[in-house]
Chain A
């Protein structure tokens, strides 16, 4: 398996534009997480899915953010409209939970978003 794959690696967009970040989790993993990382706030959990179902989106900053997981191999995080304060590195991670659970979370390489 190639690991968790995120695209794009870098995104520069103008304020007000729609941004879509994509993630392909490791095959067989049943949990998927979206994080935002900044110097000020560290690694924030935005939303996570289990078996493609959103379980907790309490970390989503506001209605401009939305996430979907239409199937076990694909998820998107969308920001519409984007603002300069959304500039950050966005990570997707996946893991296998259930049973004894608690196994390692594998991260994608991240998407560095810059909103100008």
Chain B
């Protein structure tokens, strides 16, 4: 948690391509790694999460991979669709503490 950065800040892909968003964090005690999606004019909602005892998790077209040593985790979206267009936020967290800080956000645009 705490210092949380995302790259890239914007990402444009063609429909059907893959997209990867990376989140880096500074708190080595972080042990919970969620990704949230915020569509235009809507609230952020959790789409996938992973805990530190797992290196990778997949749910249909989305997956999250974790590299605790390097202190980063990534969101992978395959076969992108226009409805994947949104802002994506990571929020790494130490589950022993309640504080919830979001990353800087990545705007994904999927063109038909």
Binding site for B on A (CB under 8 A): 31, 33, 35, 42-43, 45, 48, 50, 55-56, 91, 93, 95, 97, 100-102, 104-105, 107-110
Contacts and interface: CB of A to CB of B under 8 A. Distances in A.
A104 B36 CA distance: 10
A55 B46 contact: no
Interface residues of B, number: 23
Interface of B: 31-32, 34, 36, 43-46, 49, 51, 89, 91, 93, 95-96, 98-105
A108 B43 contact: yes
A105 B100 contact: yes
A32 B99 CA distance: 10
Dominant SS at the A interface?
strand
Given A48-B100, A50-B98, A56-B99, A107 B45 contact: yes
B22 to A, nearest CB: 16
